[in-house]
Amino acid sequence: MLKNQLPTGVRDELGINARIKETTVNTIQNYFYQRGFEKIKTPVIEYQDVFEDYDVGQQRLFKFLSASGNSVVLRPDMTLPLARVLSSTQVKLPAKFYYSGDIFRINKALSGSQDEMTQAGAELIGFSSMKAEQECLSMMIELAQILELESIQIELGLARFVKQILEMLTDNIDQIHAIEEALFSKQITKYNQLIVAFDESEYTSLLKIWPRLFGPAQDVLDEIFPYKFPERLQEKVTELRQLVSWLQVRYPNQNVEIDLSTRAPQDYYTGITFQAYSSQSATFLFSGGRYDHLLNHFQKEKVAAIGLGIDVDQIALISQVDCQTTPMTYIYFNDNQWELAEQKLMELDKATLCLVDSLEEAQKVADNNDGQLLDLTAEVIK
């Protein structure tokens, strides 16, 4: 019988853990709201087609059939549904949105990973200026402070950097793909075998150091300085350089890193990407980037856009570590003492009405929950 069991990959959230997560979501949403972002909420269920052309759509998803016989999925991503909304409504651009909700992906069973994850985030649609990147980075840094995350590291990247350089070296798509895969997953032995083919190109030395092309921003920028990139890529590299300088002036105490050796967080990203992690986290806490072509996928016109996603579960998990619980006060009262009981409830820091009919039972409730008892019936007698 499965009636009192949960499928693997999902979990219940109770008490303090659920509370921390709720507070985290509220803090994030209020922050975006105060910055003049508009709330958007999309359904958990979407047509599979929304995700199909992207990496997220290729993962294992919870899939079933709609009443009309079309494949629908539990959404694995929050940005693609937003793009769908924008392309099918008359929302005036530019616009800024924020969201929070659950996304679903089927992970390897019994591996400890969760299939239902809570994500919050913001999307800035219709801004092609670098000010959009700057606002996202500012929000990331400030939210990390508000959420009291320790020693946040910011990492910048360039989507399609790897691909565009490899395209300079060869037009063999399979070869590009193989090198990309080996580089991104750092299969060093395989990678070294694959790059032998380009032993005498202008990028040979870059190819050799590429798997280690990440670390403190200035170091990485210095490493790539000698190389001449195709014009389109050079523009992006210049932007990256400008963004690093801007960060160093605006947030002089913030560590900034660059990674030009890994896959962009989402394959729909087209420009600068940014992520952040803390020393306490096993995954990225913030992740975002520019995706100027995404709306083009749903409609005719291309629209500049940039998004920032936040892993609420990870942040809540970190916050739990140093969370102390104050004991609950259980207020026991007679039914002619409702007014007094309500008054005490308001006064006390953490209290609840104890709805039992005898003092003995009330004491038991308090004891079982490591709380204390406030007996109002005794006070009246005094």
- Site of interaction with another protein (CB under 8 A): 108, 111-113, 153, 155, 185-190, 212, 214-215, 257, 259, 262, 277, 279, 281-284
Q: Which is nearer to another protein, 26 or 151 (CB)?
A: 151
User: String of b and e for 335-345 (b: at least 16 CB within 10 Å)?
Assistant: eebeeebeebe
Q: Specify the residue, 124 or 182, whose C-beta has the smaller distance to another protein.
A: 182
Q: How far is the CB of 72 from another protein (least distance, A)?
A: 27
Q: Cβ closer to another protein: 283 or 369? A: 283
96 bridge partner residues: 124
Report, in Å, the least distance between residue 222 CB and another protein: 16
The least distance separating another protein from the CB of residue 289, rounded to whole angstroms, comes to 17
Contact 126, 303 (CB under 8 A): yes
- The CB-of-47 to another protein minimum distance in angstroms stands at 28
The distance of closest approach from Cβ of residue 112 to another protein in the complex, given in angstroms and rounded to an integer, is 5
Q: Which helix (H) or strand (E) holds 39?
A: strand 38-39
Which CB sits closer to another protein, 17 or 153?
153
CA 64 to chain centre: 26
Residue 16: its H or E element: helix 15-34
Its sign, for the CA torsion 338, 344, 349, 353, is negative
Chain centroid to CA 275: 9
β pairing state of 45-47 and 256-259: unpaired
Query: Cα-atom radius of gyration of the chain, to the nearest Å?
Result: 26
**3-class DSSP assignment, residue 14:** coil
The CA distance from 194 to 376, in Å, is: 78
Contact between residue 155 and residue 172 where contact means Cβ atoms under 8 Å apart = no
Q: What is the smallest separation between the CB atom of 98 and another protein, expressed in angstroms? A: 26
Tell me if 302 sits within 8 A of 296, measured CB to CB: yes
Whole-number Å distance between alpha carbons of 220 and 214: 6
Q: Residue 33 CB, nearest distance to another protein (Å)?
A: 31
If the CB atoms of residues 34 and 189 are measured against another protein, the closer one turns out to be 189
223: amino acid identity, one letter: E
Judged by CB, which is closer to another protein: 90, or 111?
A: 111
Largest CA distance in the chain: 96
Element (H, E) at 259: strand 256-259
How far is residue 201 from each of residues 125, 187, 210, 367, measured CA to CA in Å? 40, 22, 14, 75
Task: Name the residue nearer to another protein (CB basis): 67 or 282.
Answer: 282
Residue closer to another protein by CB (options 267, 292) is 267
- Give me the least distance between CB of 111 and another protein, in Å please: 6
In the complex with another protein, which residue's Cβ is closer, 97 or 277?
277
Taking the C-alpha atoms of residue 333 and residue 172, their distance in angstroms, rounded to an integer, is 80
**HSE (CB half, 13 Å, CA atoms) of 59?**
19
Least distance CB 17 / another protein (angstroms): 18
Q: 230 preceded by cis ω (within 30°)?
A: no
Amino acid at 178: A
Rounded to a whole number of angstroms, the minimum distance from the CB of residue 186 to another protein is 4
Nearest residue (CB) to another protein, 299 versus 320: 320
